[in-house]
């Protein structure tokens, strides 16, 4: 994609000859093997709310980090009010009038509200004028219509109140560009309405707002323009009245389907696991599904939708607080990972480094760790020879590429680490295998191997749950796809119904539109 075409896809001016307050030209950023941003061009005008949409990993966060000075672009330019600028740090971005509000506000819990509002002001002199600071903070909050005690510490404020403080902070700095990264993710409906009032106020005052959200209805409620990202590229920028949720979703998922070949189904008829109305207070609720022997059930949804939490509950790491789990016809309670293991459940974590593997330890020690009791001799000492033999068999079976099973796991590639983790849990002889992001950070070749292994395991009759943010992967592997959104189960789609658009539509909380409408652009 050439730069010229990129420019052409963005309106160079708003038709009134105004200069954009923030303009991004041909920005490119690469992290190792990942092309995070590829020639992105975007223009933001004063008094405009511009929404960014895209799946996880589409490049929105990287773009925000570049605008706020956290990352530097490899190529490309940022212009503020027509002047090229270099933004080397978040502090510098703030000085230039660019501020960001994140999902979790970054306040100082021990400082009071007024101090939090004015903390970035370096120009208020060496001596703190408390009385004046309190008055000015009260004035800003009153203008926003927010009732807060400016003298009380920020500790203990609700998330919504903390966001009000962040907005007050932005106003106090006379920001020209305000970036809001999923500000509504943890707010109640009422709090969202209050927040949107503030955002519209800011817009009237001429602030340009870049608004990132995964909630379609919010985006179409508040945004003037909507830009969609996919795979690090800007796909489209449209005015709200020229866009529909369906067209936006179509832009988000693109047309590049069938890159992965679908796995032949090996599902049998007998359910091995039945889950009814499973929930964990405040995290997820109402999850109901059957898992059959030899079936692969995909869990799709955006990050934070609660998919991982269901997996953690099934394995007993964060036990469920409501609902029932029936395993091979018997109702069970899984209150700890030990219980989960004894019931024949295995959970392969998404976080290889933190939760999955003990990196400095050898491959064989990692493989036998959860089932170590089977490797003890009659004196309670570990039978290292048997450990090695077992690890060797997995090395052959899963094609783990290593000179020996004595090698420390830290020295293996991502794909091979993943295979060690699989070995470790297969060695507990599970009847149910939960795989959380099994191919994250794994190269293409290893990915295909892991997929093949998943197919073989299913064919052996293991019931497999695959949690993945990689939609083509979920579609290729799964017999059925369970879609979650904000802690709720949105749909269970059969293989025939499940495609990128139907899954993404459910994940974004839209009613499934009839497919012709969704595809028409």
Beta-carbon contacts of residue 122 (< 8 Å; ≥ 6 apart): none
Q: Which residues pair with 488 in a beta bridge?
A: 285, 485
Cα of first residue to Cα of last residue in the chain, in angstroms, is: 21
Two tokens at 4? 């010229």
Pair 165, 113: CB distance under 8 Å? yes
Q: Give the nearest distance from C-beta 86 to other proteins in angstroms.
A: 15
Q: What is the rounded CA–CA span in Å between residue 360 and residue 417?
A: 12
Q: What is the rounded CA–CA span in Å between residue 14 and residue 359?
A: 54
Q: Give the nearest distance from C-beta 128 to other proteins in angstroms.
A: 5
Beta-carbon contacts of residue 248 (< 8 Å; ≥ 6 apart): 53, 216, 219, 226, 228
Does 277 engage in binding with other proteins (CB under 8 A)? no
Q: Which of 17, 33, 82, 147 binds other proteins (CB under 8 A)?
A: 147
Smaller CB separation from other proteins, 11 or 153: 153
Binding mask 63-102 for other proteins (x = CB under 8 A): --------------------------xxxx-x--------
- Residues that bind other proteins (rule: CB under 8 A) add up to a total of 28
Name the 3-class secondary structure at 484.
strand
β 330-332/345-348 pair status: unpaired
Does 130 engage in binding with other proteins (CB under 8 A)? yes
Mark the segment that binds other proteins (CB under 8 A) among 26-34, 44-52, 127-135, 412-420: 127-135
Within 13 Å and on the Cβ side, how many CA atoms surround 303?
10
Does 143 engage in binding with other proteins (CB under 8 A)? no
Mark the segment that binds other proteins (CB under 8 A) among 3-11, 143-151, 386-394, 487-495: 143-151
Does 119 engage in binding with other proteins (CB under 8 A)? yes
Mark the segment that binds other proteins (CB under 8 A) among 30-38, 151-159, 389-397, 479-487: 151-159
Mark the segment that binds other proteins (CB under 8 A) among 117-125, 182-190, 225-233, 504-512: 117-125
Does 111 engage in binding with other proteins (CB under 8 A)? yes
Q: To which residue do tokens 């998922």 refer?
A: 253
Q: To which residue do tokens 């009380």 refer?
A: 152
Which CB contacts under 8 angstroms, 24+ apart, belong to 237-241? 237/9, 237/10, 237/11, 237/42
Q: Give the nearest distance from C-beta 149 to other proteins in angstroms.
A: 6
Pair 61, 127: CB distance under 8 Å? no
Mark the segment that binds other proteins (CB under 8 A) among 58-66, 114-122, 312-320, 453-461: 114-122
Does 107 engage in binding with other proteins (CB under 8 A)? yes
Q: What is the rounded CA–CA span in Å between residue 282 and residue 184?
A: 16
Mark the segment that binds other proteins (CB under 8 A) among 146-154, 174-182, 311-319, 378-386: 146-154
Residue 24 host element (H or E): strand 22-31
Two tokens at 293? 């022997």
Does 175 engage in binding with other proteins (CB under 8 A)? no
Does 191 engage in binding with other proteins (CB under 8 A)? no
Smaller CB separation from other proteins, 157 or 325: 157
Which CB contacts under 8 angstroms, 24+ apart, belong to 121-126? 121/172, 121/173
Q: What is the rounded CA–CA span in Å between residue 113 and residue 108?
A: 9
Q: Give the nearest distance from C-beta 37 to other proteins in angstroms.
A: 21
Does 187 engage in binding with other proteins (CB under 8 A)? no
Q: Which of 15, 82, 125, 380 binds other proteins (CB under 8 A)?
A: 125
Does 135 engage in binding with other proteins (CB under 8 A)? no
Q: What is the rounded CA–CA span in Å between residue 361 and residue 402?
A: 14
Q: To which residue do tokens 């509002």 refer?
A: 117
Q: Which of 83, 124, 335, 338 binds other proteins (CB under 8 A)?
A: 124
Q: Give the nearest distance from C-beta 229 to other proteins in angstroms.
A: 24
Smaller CB separation from other proteins, 94 or 246: 94
Does 264 engage in binding with other proteins (CB under 8 A)? no
Smaller CB separation from other proteins, 31 or 130: 130
Q: What is the rounded CA–CA span in Å between residue 76 and residue 93?
A: 17
Does 108 engage in binding with other proteins (CB under 8 A)? yes
Smaller CB separation from other proteins, 85 or 407: 85
Binding site for other proteins (CB under 8 A): 89-92, 94, 106-111, 115, 119-120, 124-128, 130, 147-149, 152-153, 155-157
């Amino acid at each position: 994609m050439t730069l010229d075409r990129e420019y052409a896809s963005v309106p160079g001016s708003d038709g009134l000859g105004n200069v954009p307050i923030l303009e991004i030209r041909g920005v490119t950023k690469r992290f190792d093997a990942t092309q995070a941003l590829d020639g992105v061009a975007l223009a933001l005008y004063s008094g405009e709310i511009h929404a960014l949409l895209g799946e996880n990993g589409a490049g929105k966060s990287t773009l925000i980090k570049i605008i706020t000075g956290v990352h530097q672009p490899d190529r490309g330019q940022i212009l503020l009010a027509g002047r090229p600028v270099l933004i080397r740090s978040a502090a510098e971005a703030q000085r230039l009038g660019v501020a960001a509000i994140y999902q979790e506000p970054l306040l100082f819990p021990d400082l009071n509200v007024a101090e939090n509002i004015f903390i970035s002001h370096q120009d208020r002199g060496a001596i703190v004028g408390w009385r004046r600071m309190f008055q000015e903070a009260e004035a800003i909050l009153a203008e926003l219509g927010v009732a807060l005690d400016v003298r009380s510490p920020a500790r203990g404020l609700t998330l919504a109140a903390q966001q009000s403080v962040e907005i007050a902070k932005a106003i106090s700095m006379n920001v020209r560009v305000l970036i809001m990264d999923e500000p509504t993710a943890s707010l109640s409906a009422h709090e969202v309405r209050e927040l949107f009032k503030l955002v519209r106020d800011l817009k009237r005052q001429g602030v340009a707002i870049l608004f990132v959200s995964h909630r379609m209805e919010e985006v179409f409620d508040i945004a003037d323009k909507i830009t969609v990202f996919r795979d690090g590229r800007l796909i489209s920028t449209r005015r709200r009245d020229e866009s529909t949720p369906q067209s936006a979703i179509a832009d988000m998922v693109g047309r590049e389907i069938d890159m992965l070949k679908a796995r032949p189904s090996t599902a049998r008829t007998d359910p091995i696991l039945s889950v009814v109305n499973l929930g964990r207070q405040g995290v997820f609720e109402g999850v109901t599904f059957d898992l059959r022997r030899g079936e692969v059930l995909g869990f799709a949804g955006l990050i934070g939708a609660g998919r991982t939490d269901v997996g953690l509950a099934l394995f007993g790491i964060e036990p469920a607080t409501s609902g029932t789990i029936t395993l091979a016809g018997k109702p069970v309670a899984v209150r700890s990972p030990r219980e989960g293991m004894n019931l024949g459940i295995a959970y392969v974590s998404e976080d290889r480094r933190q939760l999955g593997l003990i990196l400095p330890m050898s491959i064989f020690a990692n493989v036998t760790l959860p089932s170590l009791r089977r490797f003890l001799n009659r004196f309670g000492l570990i039978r290292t020879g048997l450990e090695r033999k077992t690890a060797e068999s997995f090395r052959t079976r899963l094609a783990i590429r290593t000179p020996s099973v004595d090698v420390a796991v830290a020295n293996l590639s991502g794909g091979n680490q993943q295979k060690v983790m699989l070995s470790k849990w297969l060695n507990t002889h599970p009847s149910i295998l939960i795989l959380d992001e099994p191919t994250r950070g794994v190269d293409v070749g290893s990915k295909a191997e892991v997929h093949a292994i998943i197919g073989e395991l299913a064919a052996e009759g293991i019931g497999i749950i695959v949690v993945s943010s990689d939609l083509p992967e979920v579609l290729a592997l799964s017999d059925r796809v369970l879609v979650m959104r904000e802690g709720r189960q949105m749909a269970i789609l059969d293989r025939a119904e499940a495609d990128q658009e139907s899954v993404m539509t459910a994940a974004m909380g839209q009613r499934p539109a009839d497919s012709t409408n969704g595809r028409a652009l």
